[in-house]
Amino acid sequence: MSTVMITGCSSGFGLETARLFLARGWDVVATMRTPDAELLPASDRLRVLALDITDADSIARAIEQAGPLDALVNNAGFGAPVPVELTPMDTARALFETNTLGTLAMTQAVLPQLRERGAGVIVNVTSSVTLKALPLVGVYSASKAAVNAFTQSLAIEVEPFGVRVRLVLPGRSPTTRFGANAGVHLGGLEHPDYGPMVQGILAGFRDTSGPVTEAQDVAEAVWRAVTDPGTPLRTPAGKDAEEWMREAG
């Protein structure tokens, strides 16, 4: 029996990924800042643990409670749709604190047991916006591109120890809570110069008429990255992300 720990399971991609691993017979440690076991189907293979990836004590507690792991999925993260010029430094720091350093801290916390056992997988969920420059996501994209960068080095470093490291790059998904949560950090809507651009981009983000990414696309991409040693370092998730990956080459 294999055990996966997934961060950010209270909604969206993390919740769907936890459901999929449970349905396919894995033991799942679903972590959330505010644990709510009722979000997932009852199972003796499910444990729901409290975890804030920006808090070192919270990380240490969750890793200890989880016990031996075969896979870690670093999914927790948030966005902030705001022009670079208008991004408050507190927002920029928070983006890096969660998306980049939180992911790094979780990776460092789980890696020793995988390396010592000579087996295991770490999947970092970043974003397809790192493949193509878009307005309003400059600092968010930088926080995710930084994860891509250290993950690529890490993959080479730990491959000799039998540990696989992979990236999953989801496309735009207006159906998760991501957009609503990102709204907390929305900026520039009323700005005389940036306002019309911000309004247009927001409408585009919420538009579901074109190709978008569903939570199931991400769950399936994470599943492949964890279970299939043949997957490449980067797996796009969602039709839009696949298209962008082809364009990026």
Ligand X SMILES: NC(=O)c1ccc[n+]([C@@H]2O[C@H](COP(=O)([O-])OP(=O)(O)OC[C@H]3O[C@@H](n4cnc5c(N)ncnc54)[C@H](OP(=O)(O)O)[C@@H]3O)[C@@H](O)[C@H]2O)c1
Residue 164, C-beta contacts closer than 8 angstroms, at least 6 positions apart? 120, 121, 122, 155, 158, 229
**Catalytic: 140?**
yes
Exposure pattern of 82-120 as b/e (b: 16+ CB <10 Å)? bbeeebeeebbebbbebbbbbbbbbbebbbebbbeeeeb
Nearer to ligand X, 33 or 115 (CB): 33
- Which tokens is 54 given? 């920006």
Q: Is 75 in the site for ligand X (CB under 6 A)?
A: yes
Q: Is 100 in the site for ligand X (CB under 6 A)?
A: no
Q: Is 12 in the site for ligand X (CB under 6 A)?
A: yes
Q: Which of 76, 80, 82, 222 binds ligand X (CB under 6 A)?
A: 76
Q: How far is the CB of 60 from ligand X (least distance, A)?
A: 14
Q: Is 54 in the site for ligand X (CB under 6 A)?
A: yes
Helix (H) or strand (E) segment spanning residue 123: strand 120-125
DSSP-derived letter for residue 230 is: T
H helix intervals, 67-137: 89-95, 103-117
Site stretch for ligand X (CB under 6 A), options 7-15, 20-28, 41-49, 110-118: 7-15
Q: Is 62 in the site for ligand X (CB under 6 A)?
A: no
> Which phi and psi angles does 79 have, rounded to 5°?
-120, 170
- Which tokens is 50 given? 């409290």
Report how far residue 13's alpha carbon sits from residue 219's, in angstroms, rounded to the nearest whole number.
6
The SS3 call for residue 109 is: helix
Q: Which of 19, 69, 71, 79 binds ligand X (CB under 6 A)?
A: 79
Site stretch for ligand X (CB under 6 A), options 11-19, 63-71, 82-90, 159-167: 11-19
Which is catalytic among the residues 140, 178, 205, 223? 140
Q: Which of 81, 83, 102, 138 binds ligand X (CB under 6 A)?
A: 102
Q: Which of 3, 87, 98, 231 binds ligand X (CB under 6 A)?
A: 98
Q: How far is the CB of 244 from ligand X (least distance, A)?
A: 11
The residues annotated with a catalytic role in the active site are 140
Binding site for ligand X (CB under 6 A): 7-8, 10-14, 32-34, 51-54, 75-79, 98, 102, 125, 127, 170, 172-173, 176-178, 181
